[in-house]
Structure 1
Protein backbone atom coordinates (compact mmCIF):
# COMPACT_ATOMS: atom_id res chain seq x y z
CA UNK A 1 0.00 0.00 0.00
CA UNK A 2 1.23 3.49 -0.86
CA UNK A 3 1.48 5.89 2.05
CA UNK A 4 1.34 9.43 0.67
CA UNK A 5 2.21 11.19 3.89
CA UNK A 6 2.62 10.55 7.59
CA UNK A 7 2.73 13.30 10.21
CA UNK A 8 5.49 11.37 12.00
CA UNK A 9 7.77 11.87 8.98
CA UNK A 10 7.73 15.58 9.78
CA UNK A 11 8.65 15.24 13.47
CA UNK A 12 12.38 15.37 12.87
CA UNK A 13 14.91 17.87 14.10
CA UNK A 14 13.53 20.25 11.43
CA UNK A 15 10.10 20.45 13.09
CA UNK A 16 9.89 23.77 14.93
CA UNK A 17 9.97 23.65 18.69
CA UNK A 18 6.84 24.99 20.32
CA UNK A 19 4.45 24.23 17.45
CA UNK A 20 1.66 21.71 18.01
CA UNK A 21 2.32 18.35 16.34
CA UNK A 22 -0.96 18.86 14.48
CA UNK A 23 0.88 21.40 12.31
CA UNK A 24 2.75 18.49 10.75
CA UNK A 25 -0.56 17.47 9.14
CA UNK A 26 -1.90 20.86 8.01
CA UNK A 27 -0.88 20.41 4.38
CA UNK A 28 -2.04 16.79 4.25
CA UNK A 29 -5.32 17.74 5.88
CA UNK A 30 -6.02 20.39 3.28
CA UNK A 31 -5.52 17.92 0.45
CA UNK A 32 -7.56 15.15 2.07
CA UNK A 33 -10.30 17.62 3.02
CA UNK A 34 -10.53 18.61 -0.65
CA UNK A 35 -10.67 14.93 -1.69
CA UNK A 36 -13.45 14.20 0.78
CA UNK A 37 -15.46 17.23 -0.30
CA UNK A 38 -15.08 16.13 -3.92
CA UNK A 39 -16.17 12.53 -3.28
CA UNK A 40 -12.73 11.08 -3.98
CA UNK A 41 -12.52 9.14 -0.72
CA UNK A 42 -12.88 5.40 -0.29
CA UNK A 43 -15.87 3.47 0.98
CA UNK A 44 -13.57 1.99 3.63
CA UNK A 45 -12.71 5.46 4.93
CA UNK A 46 -16.38 6.36 5.01
CA UNK A 47 -17.32 3.18 6.87
CA UNK A 48 -14.55 3.62 9.43
CA UNK A 49 -15.00 7.36 10.01
CA UNK A 50 -18.46 8.37 8.82
CA UNK A 51 -19.13 10.72 11.76
CA UNK A 52 -15.76 12.46 11.47
CA UNK A 53 -16.30 12.87 7.71
CA UNK A 54 -19.66 14.52 8.44
CA UNK A 55 -17.94 16.83 10.94
CA UNK A 56 -15.30 17.67 8.36
CA UNK A 57 -17.89 18.46 5.71
CA UNK A 58 -19.72 20.72 8.21
CA UNK A 59 -16.38 22.43 8.99
CA UNK A 60 -16.61 21.43 12.63
CA UNK A 61 -13.09 20.02 12.38
CA UNK A 62 -10.24 20.77 9.98
CA UNK A 63 -8.50 18.39 7.64
CA UNK A 64 -5.49 18.28 9.96
CA UNK A 65 -7.77 17.38 12.87
CA UNK A 66 -9.18 14.57 10.73
CA UNK A 67 -5.75 13.27 9.72
CA UNK A 68 -4.47 13.28 13.31
CA UNK A 69 -7.61 12.05 15.09
CA UNK A 70 -9.07 9.59 12.58
CA UNK A 71 -5.99 8.44 10.66
CA UNK A 72 -3.33 8.69 13.38
CA UNK A 73 -1.39 11.04 11.09
CA UNK A 74 -1.22 8.66 8.13
CA UNK A 75 -2.61 9.40 4.66
CA UNK A 76 -2.56 6.46 2.26
CA UNK A 77 -4.16 5.04 -0.84
CA UNK A 78 -6.57 3.23 1.51
CA UNK A 79 -8.23 6.62 2.15
CA UNK A 80 -9.08 7.39 -1.49
CA UNK A 81 -11.13 5.83 -4.25
CA UNK A 82 -9.62 4.95 -7.65
CA UNK A 83 -9.90 8.46 -9.10
CA UNK A 84 -8.66 10.04 -5.87
CA UNK A 85 -5.61 7.77 -5.89
CA UNK A 86 -4.88 8.46 -9.55
CA UNK A 87 -5.00 12.21 -8.85
CA UNK A 88 -2.93 11.92 -5.66
CA UNK A 89 -0.27 9.84 -7.42
CA UNK A 90 0.12 12.53 -10.08
CA UNK A 91 -0.35 15.67 -7.97
CA UNK A 92 0.25 15.00 -4.26
CA UNK A 93 3.37 12.94 -4.93
CA UNK A 94 6.38 15.06 -5.91
CA UNK A 95 8.42 14.65 -9.08
CA UNK A 96 5.80 13.23 -11.43
CA UNK A 97 5.25 13.96 -15.11
CA UNK A 98 2.10 15.90 -14.18
CA UNK A 99 4.02 17.97 -11.62
CA UNK A 100 6.74 18.68 -14.19
CA UNK A 101 4.14 20.05 -16.60
CA UNK A 102 1.84 21.80 -14.12
CA UNK A 103 2.86 21.68 -10.46
CA UNK A 104 2.85 19.44 -7.41
CA UNK A 105 0.68 19.95 -4.35
CA UNK A 106 3.66 20.83 -2.13
CA UNK A 107 4.94 23.41 -4.62
CA UNK A 108 1.49 24.99 -4.92
CA UNK A 109 1.03 24.96 -1.15
CA UNK A 110 4.33 26.68 -0.46
CA UNK A 111 4.02 29.16 -3.33
CA UNK A 112 0.50 30.33 -2.58
CA UNK A 113 1.04 30.85 1.13
CA UNK A 114 4.46 32.45 0.64
CA UNK A 115 2.91 34.82 -1.93
CA UNK A 116 0.05 35.71 0.39
CA UNK A 117 2.44 36.31 3.26
CA UNK A 118 4.68 38.46 1.09
CA UNK A 119 1.70 40.62 0.06
CA UNK A 120 1.13 41.25 3.78
CA UNK A 121 4.81 42.01 4.32
CA UNK A 122 5.16 38.81 6.29
CA UNK A 123 7.20 35.64 5.95
CA UNK A 124 6.41 32.20 7.31
CA UNK A 125 9.22 30.89 9.45
CA UNK A 126 8.66 27.38 8.07
CA UNK A 127 6.19 25.33 6.05
CA UNK A 128 4.76 24.16 9.38
CA UNK A 129 3.80 27.67 10.48
CA UNK A 130 1.00 27.92 7.90
CA UNK A 131 -2.19 28.11 9.93
CA UNK A 132 -4.70 25.27 9.89
CA UNK A 133 -7.75 27.44 9.15
CA UNK A 134 -10.69 27.24 6.79
CA UNK A 135 -9.65 30.60 5.38
CA UNK A 136 -6.38 29.00 4.26
CA UNK A 137 -8.17 25.85 3.12
CA UNK A 138 -10.46 27.95 0.93
CA UNK A 139 -7.43 29.51 -0.75
CA UNK A 140 -5.79 26.13 -1.30
CA UNK A 141 -9.09 24.65 -2.49
CA UNK A 142 -9.10 27.03 -5.45
CA UNK A 143 -5.63 25.87 -6.47
CA UNK A 144 -6.53 22.18 -6.12
CA UNK A 145 -9.73 22.78 -8.12
CA UNK A 146 -7.62 24.22 -10.93
CA UNK A 147 -5.07 21.41 -10.78
CA UNK A 148 -7.85 18.82 -10.83
CA UNK A 149 -9.28 20.34 -14.02
CA UNK A 150 -5.79 20.38 -15.54
CA UNK A 151 -5.24 16.82 -14.40
CA UNK A 152 -8.48 15.62 -15.97
CA UNK A 153 -7.39 17.18 -19.29
CA UNK A 154 -3.92 15.71 -18.85
CA UNK A 155 -5.42 12.25 -18.33
CA UNK A 156 -8.11 12.79 -21.02
CA UNK A 157 -10.88 12.32 -18.47
CA UNK A 158 -13.09 15.19 -19.63
CA UNK A 159 -16.36 14.13 -21.17
CA UNK A 160 -17.38 16.07 -24.26
Structure 2
Protein backbone atom coordinates (compact mmCIF):
# COMPACT_ATOMS: atom_id res chain seq x y z
CA UNK A 1 0.00 0.00 0.00
CA UNK A 2 1.24 3.48 -0.81
CA UNK A 3 0.43 6.08 1.84
CA UNK A 4 1.94 9.02 0.01
CA UNK A 5 4.28 9.92 -2.82
CA UNK A 6 6.09 13.22 -3.27
CA UNK A 7 5.28 13.13 -6.98
CA UNK A 8 1.59 13.46 -6.10
CA UNK A 9 2.38 16.93 -4.80
CA UNK A 10 4.53 18.37 -7.60
CA UNK A 11 1.75 19.29 -9.98
CA UNK A 12 -1.37 21.38 -9.67
CA UNK A 13 -1.05 24.17 -7.15
CA UNK A 14 2.49 23.29 -6.05
CA UNK A 15 4.33 26.59 -5.50
CA UNK A 16 6.54 27.53 -8.44
CA UNK A 17 9.11 29.09 -6.10
CA UNK A 18 9.93 25.77 -4.41
CA UNK A 19 11.99 22.80 -5.55
CA UNK A 20 10.17 19.46 -5.91
CA UNK A 21 11.89 18.26 -2.71
CA UNK A 22 9.50 20.50 -0.76
CA UNK A 23 6.76 18.04 -1.67
CA UNK A 24 8.29 15.41 0.58
CA UNK A 25 8.77 17.36 3.82
CA UNK A 26 5.41 16.48 5.36
CA UNK A 27 5.87 12.81 4.45
CA UNK A 28 9.41 12.66 5.79
CA UNK A 29 8.54 14.15 9.17
CA UNK A 30 6.07 11.35 9.84
CA UNK A 31 8.18 8.53 8.37
CA UNK A 32 11.32 9.62 10.23
CA UNK A 33 9.36 9.80 13.49
CA UNK A 34 8.17 6.23 12.89
CA UNK A 35 11.66 4.99 12.07
CA UNK A 36 13.13 6.71 15.11
CA UNK A 37 10.49 5.21 17.37
CA UNK A 38 10.78 1.53 16.56
CA UNK A 39 8.14 1.32 13.82
CA UNK A 40 10.49 0.81 10.85
CA UNK A 41 9.86 -2.04 8.44
CA UNK A 42 12.47 -4.62 7.53
CA UNK A 43 13.53 -2.77 4.37
CA UNK A 44 14.26 0.37 6.37
CA UNK A 45 16.02 -1.60 9.10
CA UNK A 46 18.38 -2.80 6.38
CA UNK A 47 19.14 0.87 5.61
CA UNK A 48 21.59 1.26 8.47
CA UNK A 49 22.89 4.51 6.97
CA UNK A 50 19.43 6.08 7.15
CA UNK A 51 18.88 5.05 10.75
CA UNK A 52 22.33 6.27 11.72
CA UNK A 53 21.68 9.59 9.93
CA UNK A 54 18.48 10.01 11.94
CA UNK A 55 20.26 9.19 15.19
CA UNK A 56 23.08 11.62 14.47
CA UNK A 57 20.89 14.11 12.59
CA UNK A 58 23.07 14.08 9.51
CA UNK A 59 21.24 15.68 6.61
CA UNK A 60 17.59 16.65 6.81
CA UNK A 61 14.54 14.47 7.51
CA UNK A 62 13.47 14.89 3.88
CA UNK A 63 16.91 14.05 2.55
CA UNK A 64 17.12 10.92 4.70
CA UNK A 65 13.62 9.86 3.68
CA UNK A 66 14.30 10.46 -0.02
CA UNK A 67 17.46 8.38 0.06
CA UNK A 68 15.83 5.48 1.94
CA UNK A 69 12.44 5.48 0.23
CA UNK A 70 12.77 7.15 -3.16
CA UNK A 71 10.16 9.78 -2.20
CA UNK A 72 7.46 7.13 -1.68
CA UNK A 73 5.93 6.26 1.69
CA UNK A 74 4.71 2.66 1.49
CA UNK A 75 3.68 -0.05 3.92
CA UNK A 76 7.06 -1.80 3.59
CA UNK A 77 8.62 1.25 5.27
CA UNK A 78 6.86 0.29 8.51
CA UNK A 79 6.38 -2.75 10.70
CA UNK A 80 2.90 -4.06 11.53
CA UNK A 81 2.37 -1.67 14.44
CA UNK A 82 3.65 1.22 12.32
CA UNK A 83 1.21 0.36 9.55
CA UNK A 84 -1.72 0.23 11.95
CA UNK A 85 -0.72 3.64 13.29
CA UNK A 86 -0.14 5.10 9.82
CA UNK A 87 -3.48 3.79 8.56
CA UNK A 88 -5.23 5.33 11.52
CA UNK A 89 -3.43 8.66 11.79
CA UNK A 90 -1.66 9.42 8.51
CA UNK A 91 -4.19 7.76 6.25
CA UNK A 92 -7.16 9.27 8.06
CA UNK A 93 -5.90 12.86 7.55
CA UNK A 94 -5.39 13.51 11.28
CA UNK A 95 -1.68 13.91 10.68
CA UNK A 96 -2.25 16.62 8.06
CA UNK A 97 -4.40 18.59 10.46
CA UNK A 98 -1.78 18.34 13.20
CA UNK A 99 0.98 19.20 10.72
CA UNK A 100 -0.85 22.32 9.59
CA UNK A 101 -1.55 23.46 13.16
CA UNK A 102 1.86 22.61 14.59
CA UNK A 103 4.29 23.70 11.90
CA UNK A 104 2.35 25.12 8.99
CA UNK A 105 0.44 28.01 10.49
CA UNK A 106 3.05 30.69 9.77
CA UNK A 107 3.77 29.73 6.16
CA UNK A 108 1.93 30.67 2.98
CA UNK A 109 1.48 26.96 2.12
CA UNK A 110 2.32 23.70 3.86
CA UNK A 111 4.93 23.11 1.17
CA UNK A 112 6.87 26.10 2.53
CA UNK A 113 7.46 24.37 5.88
CA UNK A 114 11.24 23.94 6.08
CA UNK A 115 12.79 20.50 5.97
CA UNK A 116 14.78 20.92 9.18
CA UNK A 117 15.33 19.19 12.48
CA UNK A 118 13.76 22.23 14.15
CA UNK A 119 10.53 21.52 12.28
CA UNK A 120 10.82 17.87 13.24
CA UNK A 121 11.38 18.76 16.90
CA UNK A 122 8.22 20.89 16.88
CA UNK A 123 6.17 18.09 15.35
CA UNK A 124 7.72 15.22 17.30
CA UNK A 125 5.75 15.66 20.56
CA UNK A 126 2.51 15.98 18.59
CA UNK A 127 3.07 12.69 16.76
CA UNK A 128 4.26 11.07 20.00
CA UNK A 129 1.06 12.12 21.74
CA UNK A 130 -1.06 10.77 18.88
CA UNK A 131 0.86 7.50 18.97
CA UNK A 132 0.41 7.12 22.74
CA UNK A 133 -3.31 7.75 22.32
CA UNK A 134 -3.49 5.25 19.46
CA UNK A 135 -1.48 2.67 21.41
CA UNK A 136 -3.63 3.09 24.53
CA UNK A 137 -6.79 2.71 22.47
CA UNK A 138 -5.40 -0.52 21.01
CA UNK A 139 -4.71 -1.85 24.50
CA UNK A 140 -8.14 -0.77 25.72
CA UNK A 141 -9.77 -2.54 22.79
CA UNK A 142 -7.97 -5.77 23.67
CA UNK A 143 -8.88 -5.49 27.35
CA UNK A 144 -12.56 -5.13 26.46
CA UNK A 145 -12.37 -8.34 24.44
CA UNK A 146 -10.23 -10.25 26.91
CA UNK A 147 -13.15 -11.54 29.05
CA UNK A 148 -14.82 -12.82 25.87
CA UNK A 149 -11.61 -14.41 24.62
CA UNK A 150 -11.09 -16.26 27.93
CA UNK A 151 -14.54 -17.96 27.73
TM-score by length of 2: 0.87
In the TM superposition, what whole-angstrom CA distance separates every residue of 1:61-91 from its partner, at most 9, and x where no partner exists?
2221122222111010000001011100000
Give the Å deviation of 1:22. Answer: 1.2
Distance in 2, matches of 1:157 and 1:74, equals 33
| Alpha carbons 1:23, 1:128 under 8 Å: kept | yes
Distance in 2, matches of 1:55 and 1:89, equals 26
In the TM superposition, what whole-angstrom CA distance separates every residue of 1:83-142 from its partner, at most 9, and x where no partner exists?
0111000001125xxxxxxxx100000011244x3xxxxxx1111001111111011001
Aligned to 1:109: 99
Give the Å deviation of 1:158. Answer: 9.7
Tell which deviates more after alignment, 79-88 or 148-157: 148-157
| Alpha carbons 1:152, 1:158 under 8 Å: kept | no
Gaps of 5+ in 1: 96-103, 118-123
Distance in 2, matches of 1:30 and 1:139, equals 10
Residues 33-112 of structure 1 aligned to structure 2 (within 5 Å): 33-47=32-46, 49-94=47-92, 104-112=94-102
Give the Å deviation of 1:153. Answer: 1.8
Provide the aligned C-alpha RMSD in A. 1.9
Gaps of 5+ in 2: 144-151
Q: Report the number of matched residues.
A: 143
Q: Tell which structure's C-alpha radius of gyration is larger.
A: 2
TM-score by length of 1: 0.83
Aligned to 1:139: 122
Runs of 4+ in structure 1 off by over 4 angstroms are: 157-160
| Alpha carbons 2:6, 2:23 under 8 Å: kept | yes
Aligned to 1:25: 24
Of residues 131, 142, 148, the one that matches 1:148 is: 131
